[in-house]
A and B are shown apart, each in its own frame.
Chain A
Amino acid sequence: MSEAIRLKTPLSDADVEKLKAGDKVLLNGVIYTGRDAAHKRLFDLLQEKKPLPIDLKGQVIYYVGPAPAKPGQVIGSAGPTTSGRMDAYSPKLMEMGLKGMIGKGMRKKEVVEAMKKHKAVYFAATGGAGALLAKAIKKAQVVAYEDLGPEAINRLEVEDFPVIVVNDTQGNDLYEEGMRKYAR
């Protein structure tokens, strides 16, 4: 595994096309949080052809429902949640220009295919390392669906947020490759 690639959001087609499954990436710039309930709302708006509260073009969504911030903290612990629950919604969001997703766990075939088609990538952050990952988040602000509490959409500003490419635009899958390599 090579040295980490530093990327700044928003991401272009060229940015994501050069990424390969297994690459370590340090993300910088703005990313948005969104998990189950927020995804459902975004998806429903798109079905009704209504505008979204955030522009998805070139953006990265982080599947996370942070813990509440203690006084003096930017955000509480903020590690990834299981991505598979967002599978039903992700292809539609990629169609709208979403370039990256951060979570943990496997994606459905349809989502991997949509990544190839729309040129997007799926990153894994370390599941359960919420206290550590929160350190890379420098600003957090709720920008939509405040009523959802931990599931609200936050605009995060991150510095060197560490992720690994699991699915690239070529259809490679680090989970499958890794398992094949170490199975006995």
Chain B
Amino acid sequence: MREVNAKQITEVVKKLCIDANLYLGEDVLAAFDRGEKMEESPVGKEMFQQLKENARIAREEKVAMCQDTGLAVVFVELGQEVHIAGGDFNGAINEGVRQGYQEGYLRKSSCNCFSRVNTKDNTPAIIHLEIIPGDKVKITVAPKGGGSENMSTVTMLSPSEGVEGIKKRVVDWVKQAGSNPCPPVVVGVGIGGTFEQTALMAKKALLRPLGQKNPDPQLATLELEILTRVNNLGIGPQGLGGRITAMAVHVEMIPCHIASFPMAVNINCHAHRHKEAVI
């Protein structure tokens, strides 16, 4: 049994909240370069240039790349040999979010659903916990903006709709989202499991390095086919018309009930942020 102090978790979460909002990943920056080259629309090209410049300013001046610094979505892979000491685990994560959003000058975007009164510290964090073998704790913070999250969906298809049904639903959904989720987007697709599991898979699909194919060749082909169809919509960067509506489509799939065919689409904006650390 290895002991990890709750304070250490707070420190790590705090740093990840700040770093994720300030420093865009190399994979996303590389996708901006590719997008700028491939984009045919002059205004679309200009949008990629602005996004690169925006990322540079955020990185160098240590400011949030986007004012919507998101709800703090925290994925934890907790080794079963780890004992959390010196405090409450969920409390330690929330304290990290509280401190990170305060000290990093990040916007607090969490509010009561009815009164819309802000919680003022961006808590509660959205925590997804998985127990895994080993004695390490892996924490990933993925701040999620409201604009792109609003353009996401879960659908319970009929098994008779088949893989074509999946393709059609994803493409239709991205089309309907149009300019709202800040394209060029990243499209996370979950297939299978149950109602809630498919949504979580769609979100986790966004954590994969941008553009890295699914190791399953059938799903890798599906990703490419959906990406091509999405980019044929013509929505383009910022919805102003162009060839690059999505930078990548990531699909994850697990088995489902014999009566079911659940699927979920979780769209992420170009501020495709997440940072991870292992304790």
Beta-carbon contacts under 8 Å, B1-46 to A: 40-43
CB-defined contacts of B57 to chain A, threshold 8 Å: 131-132, 135
- Which of A84, A129, A151, A178: most chain B Cβ within 10 A? A129
A179 to B57 alpha-carbon distance, docked (Å): 30
A13 to B147 alpha-carbon distance, docked (Å): 31
Beta-carbon contacts under 8 Å, B50-106 to A: 50-51, 53-55, 57-58, 61-69, 105-106
Q: What's the nearest-Cβ distance from chain A to residue B141, in Å?
A: 17
Q: Does A115 contact B (CB under 8 A)?
A: no
Q: What's the nearest-Cβ distance from chain B to residue A129, in Å?
A: 4
**Given A135-B57, A179-B241; A77-B64 close (CB under 8 Å):** yes
**Given A1-B42, A106-B179, A129-B50; A67-B234 close (CB under 8 Å):** no
**Given A76-B105, A150-B107; A36-B116 close (CB under 8 Å):** yes
- Which of A64, A77, A174: most chain B Cβ within 10 A? A77
The contact string, 1 if C-beta is below 8 Å from chain B, for chain A 126-161, is 111111101100000000000011110000000000
Contacting pair B240 A77 (CB below 8 A): no
A74 to B269 alpha-carbon distance, docked (Å): 26
Query: Closest A-chain residue to B116, C-beta based?
Result: A37
Q: What's the nearest-Cβ distance from chain A to residue B268, in Å?
A: 11
Q: Does A104 contact B (CB under 8 A)?
A: yes
Q: Does A169 contact B (CB under 8 A)?
A: no
In the complex, which of the residues B43, B62, B64, B108 contacts A130, with contact meaning CB atoms closer than 8 Å? B64
Q: What's the nearest-Cβ distance from chain A to residue B55, in Å?
A: 8
Query: Closest A-chain residue to B57, C-beta based?
Result: A131
**Given A105-B180, A175-B240, A181-B234; A132-B116 close (CB under 8 Å):** no
CB-defined contacts of A61 to chain B, threshold 8 Å: none
Beta-carbon contacts under 8 Å, A101-141 to B: 104-106, 124, 126-132, 134-135
Q: Does B178 contact A (CB under 8 A)?
A: yes
**Given A64-B67, A130-B67; A179-B105 close (CB under 8 Å):** no
Q: Does B144 contact A (CB under 8 A)?
A: no
A104 to B181 alpha-carbon distance, docked (Å): 9
CB-defined contacts of A37 to chain B, threshold 8 Å: 116
A129 to B235 alpha-carbon distance, docked (Å): 18
Q: What's the nearest-Cβ distance from chain A to residue B38, in Å?
A: 12
A7 to B273 alpha-carbon distance, docked (Å): 35
CB-defined contacts of B221 to chain A, threshold 8 Å: none
Query: Closest A-chain residue to B59, C-beta based?
Result: A131
Q: What's the nearest-Cβ distance from chain A to residue B172, in Å?
A: 14
Contacting pair A106 B180 (CB below 8 A): yes
A104 to B67 alpha-carbon distance, docked (Å): 14
Contacting pair A104 B41 (CB below 8 A): no
Q: What's the nearest-Cβ distance from chain A to residue B224, in Å?
A: 16
In the complex, which of the residues B43, B54, B67, B269 contacts A67, with contact meaning CB atoms closer than 8 Å? B67
Q: What's the nearest-Cβ distance from chain A to residue B148, in Å?
A: 9
A126 to B183 alpha-carbon distance, docked (Å): 10
Contacting pair A81 B147 (CB below 8 A): yes
In the complex, which of the residues B41, B66, B118, B232 contacts A79, with contact meaning CB atoms closer than 8 Å? B66
CB-defined contacts of B58 to chain A, threshold 8 Å: 77, 131
Given A127-B238, A174-B241, 17 other A-B residues pairs in contact with their CB atoms under 8 A: A1-B42, A76-B67, A76-B105, A76-B107, A77-B107, A82-B150, A105-B239, A106-B179, A126-B47, A126-B54, A126-B238, A131-B66, A132-B50, A132-B54, A150-B109, A174-B240, A182-B234
- 18 A-B pairs with CB atoms under 8 Å apart are A66-B67, A70-B63, A70-B105, A76-B63, A76-B107, A77-B66, A79-B68, A129-B66, A131-B63, A132-B54, A132-B57, A149-B120, A150-B67, A150-B107, A150-B118, A177-B241, A178-B41, A178-B240
Chain B residues near A (Cβ < 8 Å): 40-43, 47, 50-51, 53-55, 57-58, 61-69, 105-109, 116, 118, 120, 146-147, 150, 178-180, 182, 232-236, 238-243, 269-271
Chain A residues near B (Cβ < 8 Å): 1, 36-37, 64-70, 73, 76-79, 81-82, 84, 104-106, 124, 126-132, 134-135, 148-151, 164, 174-175, 177-184
